[in-house]
Amino acid sequence: MEIKLKNCRIKIVQGDITEQTVDAIVNAANPTLMGGGGVDGAIHRKGGNKILEECKQIRATLYPNGLPTGEAVITSGGNLKAKYVIHTVGPIWKGGNNREAEFLSKAYWNSLNLAKSRGLKSIAFPSISTGAYGYPIDKASVIALSTVKNFLEKENGLEEVIFVLFTAKDFEVYKQKASEIFSL
Ligand code: AR6
């Protein structure tokens, strides 16, 4: 599925984010930035040690207590096809009354803003927080899509934003929500 918004293409695809050829892929990390399971594990495994070394440097300098939820940092892409990895931390789902939506939106917004500030043109997102962190996909997809829509309506520079969904079910949910949000 492909949507045009100003000078930007928004694509929704099913696949593995570590295979994307884009300027930056986004990692659904945890505050330690030291890797983990899910998409985080896949990115570190395929990207190699360079990414971890840069994450250690970020921890030692900018974020000794860990990356706060909703914030984003950038490293190189190591052995990945993507030039960079933007690491962000989504919220852990605790029922919905703990500012989860606000923090999830911040994770997308700050990742987009970091990409834009570095002059990057293309960025790919996984479905942040909807795996180990337990955020319901129907709610998370609406926040992901509408945050990207709001960002692109306000800011220029990005030419391609790709949502990469790992499962067929998540892919279907995203396509359904996108057709509503973008009035297709
Ligand atoms: N490409 C695209 N999406 C993927 C891939 C992949 N290769 N692998 C998994 N997904 P999760 P979270 C999807 O758990 O919920 C980690 O341990 C997956 O199907 O990776 O934000 C971190 O270190 C799901 O839809 O991230 C943190 O501790 C989505 O990615 C914690 O998990 C997100 O699932 C973060 O949890």
116 alpha carbon to ligand 1 midpoint, in Å?
24
Rg (CA), the chain: 15
How much helix, strand and coil, in percent to the nearest 5, is found in the chain? Answer: 40, 20, 40
What DSSP line would sit under 85-100, residue for residue?
A: EEEE-PPPPSSS-SSH
75 alpha carbon to ligand 1 midpoint, in Å?
18
Tokens of residue 12, six digits: 């929704």
Supply the pTM of this predicted model.
Answer: 0.98
Nearest-atom index, ligand 1, CA of 32? 23
Tokens of residue 35, six digits: 């890797």
In tens digits, what is the pLDDT along the chain, a chain of 184 residues?
Answer: 999 999 999 999 999 999 999 999 999 999 999 999 999 999 999 999 999 999 999 999 999 999 999 999 999 999 999 999 999 999 999 999 999 999 999 999 999 999 999 999 999 999 999 999 999 999 999 999 999 999 999 999 999 999 999 999 999 999 999 999 999 8
Contact assessment for residue 73 and residue 58, using Cβ atoms and an 8 Å cutoff: yes
Q: Is the CATH number 3.40.220.10 carried by domain 2-181?
A: yes
Is residue 133 lining ligand 1, measured as CB closer than 6 Å? yes
- Angle (nearest 5°) at CA 72 between 150 and 100: 65
Q: Where are the domains of the chain?
A: 2-181
Q: Is 23 a catalytic residue?
A: no
